[in-house]
Structure 1
Amino acid sequence: MDWYEKLSRYFPVEEMKSKEHMQVLLQEKADVYFKDESEDHVLMYAEFDHFLFIDYLYVAGKTRGKGIGGKLIDKLKQKGKPILLEVEPLQYDDTDSEKRLRFYERHGFQHAQMIGYNRRSLATDKENPMEILYWAPNGETEEQIFEAMRDMYEQIHTYKDEQLYGQPYQLADEVLTFSSTAAKDSIFDKAKQKEK
């Protein structure tokens, strides 16, 4: 099974880029977009001057819980830049969504409470809301995280979208919102409340 098949079997179709899109990013943005893989993992990420973005992190089922994911996160943390990622909102009928949240919480990630993210999937033509998690080693504010997310969205998610998919993704301003007044409940807190 190649790296793309591993990712597409693990991640929902509405979250997947096409293989062609990822290959174009790896070739044409080789100074920014990277793949780190072994038999047991696939990590796709972008590194910019001021932040990192984890696009996909997959660890094979047989090796989960053995520290591989943590080592990959620690390797990125050593760069000393904020790390951003998107995760599915907590789904009570999906234990994987809760495990993913717990994994990132254990590794010091915070839930962006003022950033909204809702993108229409070109694959399913349905709204696909996501939660933004981030690790801020230098005390970066959510406003700075928001600006980094906008930058990543424009440089990675929508890169050559019309050429690759036959239609453009929504503009960053339609997908990402920032509200300094309306803080949401943390998805980490929701996961904890579920246990009670």
Structure 2
Amino acid sequence: MNWYEKLNQYFPVEEMKSKEHMDLLLKEKENVYKKDEGKYHVLMYAETNDFIFIDYLFVSKDARGKGIGKKLISDLKEKQKPIILEVEPVDYEDTDTEKRQRFYKREGFEHAKSIGYRRRSLDTGKINEMEILYWSPSNESEESIYNKMRHTYETIHTYKDEQIYGESYDETDKVFTFEEEDDKAQPSL
């Protein structure tokens, strides 16, 4: 089974980029979009000068609990840049969502409470609500994480979307919201 089939079997269709999309990113943005593949894992990520975005992290069921995910995350942490990723909210019907969140929490990732993220799948038309998790070696602000996530959406997620999918993804401002902590303390009228 090739790397794309592994990802495609594990991740919901609403979250998957097409193989053509990922191949283009790997070819045309090879200095930014990267693939780390082994017998039991596939890691797809984008690395810029000031942060890393984990697009997909897959560890085979046969190898879970053997420290592969921890090692991959540790290798990225050694670069001393903030690491950002999207994760499905916990769904108690799907134990994998809870396990994923627990794994990232153990690895020191924080939930970006100020960032709202709702992305429409071009495959199904379904609105997918995701949570943003991040790890930072330097106490990065959520506003900074928000701006890095917007950059990722504009340069990776929507890269050549019209050419690949025949239509464009939603505009960035429709996909993301940012609510400063002070705003949350105010009662709504």
TM over 0.5: yes
Equivalence for 1:27: 27
Hey, what's the Cα distance between the residues in 2 that align with 1:100 and 1:85? 12
Which amino acid is the alignment partner of residue 75 of structure 1? D
Matches within 5 A, 1:71-110: 71-110=71-110
Amino acid aligned to 1:182: K
Distance 1:178 1:11 in 2: 26
Aligned to 2:16: 16
**Aligned-partner Cα distance in 2 for 1:104–1:45:** 16
What's the counterpart of residue 184 of structure 2?
A: 182
CA RMSD of aligned residues (A): 0.8
The residue identity in structure 2 corresponding to 1:26 is L
Which whole-Å CA distance do the structure 2 matches of 1:26 and 1:106 have between them? Answer: 30
After superposition, give the CA deviation of every residue in 1:133-186 in whole Å (9 maximum; x if it has no partner).
000110100000000000111010000000000000011111011001238xxx
Which residue is equivalent to 1:115?
115
Equivalents in 1 of 2:106, 2:30: separation in Å?
31
Aligned length: 183
- CA apart distance, 1:84: 0.3
CA distance in 1, matches of 2:33, 2:119: 21
Partner deviation per Cα, 1:86-143 (whole Å, 9 max, x = no partner)? 0001101110000000000000000000000001111110110000000011010000
Structure 1: distance between partners of 2:33 and 2:93: 33
* 1:1-196 mapped onto 2 (5 Å cutoff): 1-180=1-180, 181-182=183-184
Displacement after TM superposition at 1:39 (Å): 1.0
Give the unaligned 5+ runs of structure 2: none
Unaligned runs of 5+ in 1: 184-196
Percent identity of equivalent pairs: 64
| Separation of aligned partners in 2, 1:69 and 1:2 | 19
What's the secondary structure of 1:182's corresponding residue?
helix
